[in-house]
Structure 1
Amino acid sequence: MKVSLKQVLLTTLAATVLFAGNVYAGTTYDKVKNDGTVNVGLMYNSIPAAFFNEKNEWVGFDIDIATEVVKRIGTYMEKDLTINKVKVNNKTRISFLTSDRIDLSVANMTHKRERDKTIDFSITYFFDGQKIMTKKGKYSDPKDLVGKRVCAMQGTTSEKNLVNLLKSLGDENAEKNVISFQTAPDCFLALAQGKVEAWSTDSTILLGFAAKQAGMFELIGDFISDEPYGMGLPEDDSKWRDAVNFAIQDLWTDGTYMEIYNKWYGPDTPYYFPMTAKIEMWP
């Protein structure tokens, strides 16, 4: 049978594509060990978790924790791993995981059952709660915000929690009065300019932005909700999930976690947030 050059090329191309697709078939753990790089999704405008400082350096609590987690996983593998930082936001941090653009998401992500239908989570690595921030001295209680415009970040659990809170306080137009913005800086600017009367999200994010203009803003009321942060992981990938969990626990055990925590949230920082819980430990 006579085979044309075109058929030969097509067959070769198909085999090449098939081979390339199978090179990293298997777990994320094996892929990382093979290429020596962990693609980590991180926020870039969330102070003090992950942001660019005045020197344009990408810094923050999540940056330091993610770097240490990658380092520990490399130790388990007996290999030096490189962390490749990838910018994500509230909308992309999950889709980047499901599309294999990142291996790990360390991005202010509350572990929710709804999210767990799509991705997996590590054990809780940070303990936060949602609060409300207003201009200093203007309001003292969340009930004072009934009927007022209040900001939340679009697509977050904070947005849903805020609507539910205002409804419980008697705001019949809560869904209309909760104004959604894409990013934390957008919300902060809207509050500073008086376009909204308050902003509600995780308290450490609010503390970070309030510190930019010390004395002008304050957090009011009790916590609206608990917000346990987990590191987002690819679905059904237990070997990789175990490696991440072991790294978090080892950071806690040897004191590295609290060193990083106090660097960003300790009493000598503008973002003081006392530690009230501890990392889940396995014997």
Structure 2
Amino acid sequence: MMWKKLFVSSLMGLLLSTGIKPVMAGTVLENIAKSGVFNVGTPLNLVPYAYYNEENQLDGFSIDIVKLIHKQLEQELGRKIELNFVEVNSLQEGFPKMMTGEIDIACNTVFTWERDKHIDFTLRYTISGIRLLLPKGKIPSDTSFAKQKIGIPPQTFVRDAIKLAYPNAVFVEVASLQEGITALKDGKIDALGGDSILLDGLRQQVDKDGFEQFPPFTEPSLAQYGVACVVPENNSSFLNIANYSIAKMMEGYLVKDPEMTELFNKWIGANGVVDVVSEESIELFFKSNIVNHEQIPFPKQ
């Protein structure tokens, strides 16, 4: 899901070593207007954000967010724009594609100060947190997890939060959540750390009734954060369109606009694909996100 932190020198070294030169001519918005194509980097198997549904159509919460941005782009540019999805599953794929203009935006990511040196973040479109996934009924009586093996995916913010919460655990690095769930099923680790929304999506793909998360959802997660999209730096016009689209979704949800409420509730909440975030948390998060922005009016229902 998330992009590992990368220093400018190493990023540029990667690009130059592969013969890739950053695109400098034209802003993202100018390039979209000229080409008529909006290129979106996305994974294809990341429940609930972006995955193929039962009808074999690319679907997901982030896909719906991108479609809102796409609709706003067409309104702003006054023309039809093709929406093109480019598979992006890793940092090594994502950064070069964004630097060269192959993709204009990518979602499902979390702000870190290091990442912010190289890319710009949109408004956050949901809240999530860090928890542990364990086999059902296997939460230890000693919830300090002392000497328990906890699988840690590559994201530094996940690793740091888990190590701070459980300093006496044994930490086992895993290359991905998919590798981690395999290790968990095979008994090589006792718990798998990660983003609670992604962990629940993974649970549903692997074994709906075989796993549970800790801390329980009645308690705070180990860390909380917003989930956002990222765009190339210094593209304020394009970023404004993306932010307006996300703010409109949040505003619509808060005023109970049917379209925006249905869009969000389809994915997150009691009747959504994942039910790991309370309605109260979502409302508070949305209010805090849009309080510093101009209100977007919706017709009274």
Give the Cα separation in 1 of the matches to 2:150 and 2:210: 17
What is the Cα deviation at residue 208 of structure 1?
1.2
2:214 pairs with 1:220 = yes
Cα deviation digits, residues 126-152 of structure 1 (max 9, x gap): 211111111111115783422222112
Check 1:105–1:53 CA distance in 2 against 1; reply closer, same or farther (3 A cut).
same
Alignment of 1:263-274 (within 5 A): 263-272=266-275, 273-274=277-278
Give the Cα separation in 1 of the matches to 2:163 and 2:44: 26
Give the Cα separation in 2 of the matches to 1:225 and 1:178: 18
Q: How many residues align?
A: 254
Q: Which residue of 2 aligns with 1:211?
A: 204
What is the Cα deviation at residue 165 of structure 1?
2.6
Tell me if structure 1 keeps the 8 A contact 2:130–2:224: yes
Give the Cα separation in 1 of the matches to 2:235 and 2:228: 15
Tell me if structure 2 keeps the 8 A contact 1:152–1:158: yes
Q: 5+ unaligned residues in a row in structure 1: which ranges?
A: 1-20
Q: Which residue of 1 aligns with 2:99?
A: 98
Give the Cα separation in 2 of the matches to 1:181 and 1:163: 15
Give the Cα separation in 1 of the matches to 2:102 and 2:164: 34
Check 1:154–1:141 CA distance in 2 against 1; reply closer, same or farther (3 A cut).
farther
Give the Cα separation in 1 of the matches to 2:31 and 2:24: 5
Give the Cα separation in 2 of the matches to 1:183 and 1:191: 12
Give the alignment's TM-score, normalised by structure 2. Answer: 0.76
Cα deviation digits, residues 89-109 of structure 1 (max 9, x gap): 242334432332211011x21
Give the Cα separation in 1 of the matches to 2:138 and 2:239: 46
Q: Which residue of 2 aligns with 1:182?
A: 175
- Which of residues 205, 228, 231 is equivalent to 2:229? 231
Tell me if structure 2 keeps the 8 A contact 1:46–1:184: no
Q: Which residue of 1 aligns with 2:25?
A: 25
Give the Cα separation in 2 of the matches to 1:103 and 1:214: 35
Check 1:96–1:155 CA distance in 2 against 1; reply closer, same or farther (3 A cut).
farther
Give the Cα separation in 2 of the matches to 1:185 and 1:98: 27
Letter in 2 for 1:204: I
Give the alignment's TM-score, normalised by structure 1. Answer: 0.81
Check 1:128–1:201 CA distance in 2 against 1; reply closer, same or farther (3 A cut).
same
Q: 5+ unaligned residues in a row in structure 2: which ranges?
A: 1-20, 295-301
What is the Cα deviation at residue 162 of structure 1?
2.1
Check 1:114–1:142 CA distance in 2 against 1; reply closer, same or farther (3 A cut).
farther
Give the Cα separation in 2 of the matches to 1:70 and 1:164: 40
Which has the larger Rg? Answer: 1
Provide the secondary structure at the position in 2 that maps to 1:145: coil
TM superposition outliers: structure 1 runs of 4+ over 4 Å: none
What is the Cα deviation at residue 52 of structure 1?
2.6
Provide the secondary structure at the position in 1 that maps to 2:224: strand
2:52 pairs with 1:67 = no
Alignment RMSD, CA only?
A: 2.4
Give the Cα separation in 2 of the matches to 1:43 and 1:278: 25
What is the Cα deviation at residue 234 of structure 1?
0.4
Between 1:67-76 and 1:29-38, the stretch displaced more is 67-76
Cα deviation digits, residues 8-59 of structure 1 (max 9, x gap): xxxxxxxxxxxxx9x9822111111111111111122221111233554322
Give the Cα separation in 2 of the matches to 1:64 and 1:189: 30
Letter in 1 for 2:31: K
